[in-house]
Amino acid sequence: MSRTTRVLAALLALAVASPATPATAATPDPPAGAGASAGATREPGNGPERNEVAATDPLLAASAGALARGQGHDQPTKTAGYPRRTQLRVYPEDPTDRAVKLGLVPYHGIAPLLNDLQARGDRVSVEVVGQSTLGRDLYLVTVTAPEHASQTRRQDRWRRLIEDDPRAAARDRELRASYKTPVWINGNIHGDEWEGTDGALRVITALATATDTATRRLLERSRLYFTVTNNPDGRVAGTRANGAGFDINRDHITSSQPESRAVRDVVIATQPVLMLDEHGYTGTTLIEPSTAPHGQNYDYDLYIRHAYPNALGMEAAIAALGHPETARADIPFRDYAPGDWDDWPPIFTPMYAIHQGAVGHTVEVPMQVNRGAYNSLPVEELRRRSGINTDVAAATIRAAIGYADTNRAALVADQIELFRRGWAGEPQRHVPDGYVPGFGPEDRYTTTFPRAYVIPAGAGQRSPAAAARLVDHLVAHDVRVRRAKAPFTLAGQRHPAGSYVVDMHQPKRGLANAILEAGRDISSLVPQMYDISGWSHGLLWGATVHTSRREAPRVPTTPVAVAGPTGDVSAPYGRDLALTVTDGKDVQAVNALLDAGVRLRRLGDGTVVVPASARRAASAAAERLGVRFTAARWHAGGEPLRKPVLAAAVAADELFVLRDLGFDVRPVSTTVLNAGFELSEVDTLVVSSGLSYPALNAAARSTVDAFLARGGLVTRGATGARFNADAGVLPARAVAGRSDANGVVSVTAGGGPAGTGAPPHSFVYAPLWFTDLGPGVSADQRYAGTPLVAGHWIADPDDGRGGPADAAGQAAVVSGVGPRGTAAVLFGTEPLFRAHPKGLFAQVGRAIYWTASHNQPET
């Protein structure tokens, strides 16, 4: 019997074990900061802002940082061997946990089970890699054969060698023979897709307790990592989103949420060669690889030659379960049309992991047990389905582990090759037709990597705070950034000392490019997309970024672990200070000063004036937030600026950003207003979701009408535009583009509260534009003559309308004072989308300050 056959046989034998029952244990109240009661967000403007996760070495960032963030735990040091036993805090039993009804392991049952497995043997280690939005622990389980600290240090040296010096790694015979194959399984990223957790726990339990030789040898050759539940808040509540309302599986390139930051740190620290992200429910089990369009920054030849056969192996494994519902799988690459299930954006866990050197797969277990099914089906049927789903999750995990062990040498060699190509700056390989069965011209997506990016310092930088944020983000994602020690010229552009250089001859160049590049208009290549198809930190995060296509930087540099401080108060003592609201950090600074009782004034161009007497408070804000105060004009005047109170009928991502910017936000909706919500303390109403003016009852409509006679209005999207039209606020007709159109667009500034100082690019999803602007209404921004820079936006195939040609030159954002006397700003763009386009946040802040202050009494 071959080694491959023995390993697969052992894994299949272990599969018959039932899901472990959580061990009984005393359940003291969790310490302060744990559980749902600890869900308060950080006070805006307080605490660490930049550089929270940047580190010189990803192992240190994860092992000494992210892997030791659990409060009150005895955590291992970075030099500890395995096992690394952590006594996990045990949460009180929660009978409302939505997993209970399905017969699955509730969140409160996970820690006792893992504590028991650690105590029973020497193969299982558990570490706390962070906390969820609501304060629940996030676990990383490592299953491997025991290692002395010296053996662990050797494994860590090899891991670093693979990334830092892949040529040397390829020549290292000892590495080839003894490096443990790292595999990562991520479960339950969508909270109401439960069974990935239970399948992982089943496999962990089986591997931990098996006594056969094949399992022992497998664990001597492998390190198997499991983030058993990536979204415990959603698991308990039975929601797809996390406690802040975010879909974590759309957040990886932005990493706005603690759950996505935790797994980012895990994938960097563990450097897996293969990973699975366990989801549900698609009717038939779905196993990636995906359809075209394929991310153009991948070295796709290295990915698909493993992803496709591994998918076939997982399909065979679920068929072997014998359930009629698992006789076959859908493999999108093989079975779907281009655009139906693509891997274009790096927002998804597996796509992000590909850029970090892994062969990544989404797995969707088949049988729906969430949402309507959860409430309508009998418990017996739900548990039958969840049992099948758990079988599928466990089977795909076992098959993937088997594939990684069988193909260990090739997987490690290909990860080395990926990083070698990056360091060498080699072009992507041409992947020929038939490279794997079904590969054809429709699958061929490539790019030409630039030679370098520069994030300039000095006068050429639009926003030093935004530049520092972008640099720290790159470093946190294991992109190598260096800082120039002298002035230099690159691609005809002169840059001062202190400028940041991203030399694209580096191991993770694909990720660096995915973050910084403008992107690509793929509208003509596929008929539709599964999710967003355009993003760009380089264009949307508010910093000036220059691209050098061919020329390498020639300047002495130093590696960057943390961006340099950017805050400054440059005005002479005794002089009033001016803050130009250019970035979201500037908005945070304004709100922090208002919270501190500083009497601010707002000028007609949106500049905020701080009295000389508040210099100490301004200096604290500058140091904490990286913003810059200059000298205000003599006798600048301006209108008093009060801290605005917002009533917001908005999506979860917008609520998150508004609160993070420091605004006092009161969530409202049609239902809330109809129940008698009082608007007397509100300065601006923000509407993008869940509020219909015609659906208000008489009392609520009267309340809203009274408010609009004195307050301000900011809207976004179709719901906001409809509210404006129904309430008769601004005379402007909203025209809808195609509903699935999305991406990065070019815009031209027209002034006004939202247009002044705004970047020349914006983001759209289901874009709007405004025509027939009435008296007093002006265009703060217009779509450029060729609007779409990157993404997917086509006209409706039936009537030819709604495409970018119709939007060209039209108003994208408008402002004015309407016949009611209401100051309003209407956005046809998406300036807060998923907390991603950070360079656009200041537009919204300026719009709020303008609308809120228009009718404020002088104080």
Last residue of one domain, picked from the residues 559, 589, 605: 559
Residue 859 domain flag: no
Residue 43 domain flag: no
| 721 and 582 belong to one structural domain | no
| 611 and 676 belong to one structural domain | no
Residue 843 domain flag: yes
pLDDT at res. 59: 38
| 636 and 651 belong to one structural domain | no
- Angle in degrees, CA 229, 232, 236, rounded to 5: 125
Split at pLDDT 50, 70, 90, the class of 76 is very low
Residue 336 CA, chain-centre distance (Å), reads 26
| 633 and 671 belong to one structural domain | no
| 673 and 805 belong to one structural domain | yes
Q: What CATH code is carried by the domain that includes residue 619?
A: 3.30.70
On the question of pLDDT at 72 being above 50, the answer is no
Tell me what the mean pLDDT of segment 661-673 comes to.
Answer: 98
364 catalytic residue (yes or no): yes
Please give the DSSP secondary-structure letter assigned to residue 433.
T
Residue 53 domain flag: no
Q: What CATH code is carried by the domain that includes residue 757?
A: 3.40.50.880
| 165 and 253 belong to one structural domain | yes
Tell me what the mean pLDDT of segment 754-761 comes to.
Answer: 96
Split at pLDDT 50, 70, 90, the class of 78 is low
Taking the C-alpha atoms of residue 96 and residue 320, their distance in angstroms, rounded to an integer, is 35
Task: Give the chain's largest Cα–Cα span.
Answer: 89
Tell me what the mean pLDDT of segment 668-683 comes to.
Answer: 98
| 733 and 826 belong to one structural domain | yes
Residue 545 domain flag: yes
Query: Quick one: CA dihedral 228, 229, 235, 240, positive or negative?
Result: negative
For residue 273, the one-letter residue type is: V
On the question of pLDDT at 113 being above 80, the answer is yes
| 617 and 664 belong to one structural domain | no
Last residue of one domain, picked from the residues 559, 579, 594: 559
On the question of pLDDT at 38 being above 60, the answer is no
Last residue of one domain, picked from the residues 626, 641, 656: 641
Tell me what the mean pLDDT of segment 456-469 comes to.
Answer: 97
- Angle in degrees, CA 373, 377, 383, rounded to 5: 95
611-621 tens-digit pLDDT: 999 999 999 99
On the question of pLDDT at 46 being above 90, the answer is no
Split at pLDDT 50, 70, 90, the class of 856 is low
Residue 667 domain flag: yes
Question: Beta strands of 266-335 (E only): which ranges?
Answer: 274-280, 286-287, 291-294
Split at pLDDT 50, 70, 90, the class of 14 is very low
Residue 580 domain flag: yes
Split at pLDDT 50, 70, 90, the class of 636 is confident
Residue 443 domain flag: no
Share of the chain above pLDDT 90, in %: 89
| 626 and 695 belong to one structural domain | no
On the question of pLDDT at 272 being above 60, the answer is yes
Tell me what the mean pLDDT of segment 778-789 comes to.
Answer: 98
pLDDT at res. 249: 98
Split at pLDDT 50, 70, 90, the class of 32 is very low
Taking the C-alpha atoms of residue 306 and residue 358, their distance in angstroms, rounded to an integer, is 10
Which residues, other chains included, contact 592 with Cβ-Cβ below 8 Å and sequence gap of 6+? 44, 45, 46, 621, 624, 625, 662
On the question of pLDDT at 34 being above 80, the answer is no
- Angle in degrees, CA 677, 680, 686, rounded to 5: 70
| 707 and 733 belong to one structural domain | yes
State the total domains in the chain.
4
DSSP H/E element including 42: none
Split at pLDDT 50, 70, 90, the class of 683 is very high
Taking the C-alpha atoms of residue 467 and residue 692, their distance in angstroms, rounded to an integer, is 40
Split at pLDDT 50, 70, 90, the class of 71 is very low
699-734 tens-digit pLDDT: 999 999 999 999 999 999 999 999 999 999 999 999
Q: Helix, strand or coil for residue 350? A: helix
Q: What CATH code is carried by the domain that includes residue 163?
A: 3.40.630.10
Q: Which of 364, 517, 654, 830 is catalytic?
A: 364
pLDDT at res. 79: 66
Regarding pTM above 0.85, the answer is: yes
Taking the C-alpha atoms of residue 13 and residue 33, their distance in angstroms, rounded to an integer, is 41
Q: Are 110 and 19 in contact (CB under 8 A)?
A: no
pLDDT at res. 857: 53
288-315 tens-digit pLDDT: 999 999 999 999 999 999 999 999 999 9
| 718 and 812 belong to one structural domain | yes
Task: Annotate 712-728 with three-state secondary structure.
Answer: EEEEEHHHHHHHHHHHC
Q: Worst-scoring range by mean pLDDT, 76-90, 252-266, 576-590?
A: 76-90
Split at pLDDT 50, 70, 90, the class of 855 is low
Which domain, by its residues, includes 538? Answer: 452-559
| 518 and 573 belong to one structural domain | no
Q: Mean pLDDT of all residues in the chain?
A: 91
On the question of pLDDT at 2 being above 80, the answer is no
Taking the C-alpha atoms of residue 446 and residue 444, their distance in angstroms, rounded to an integer, is 7
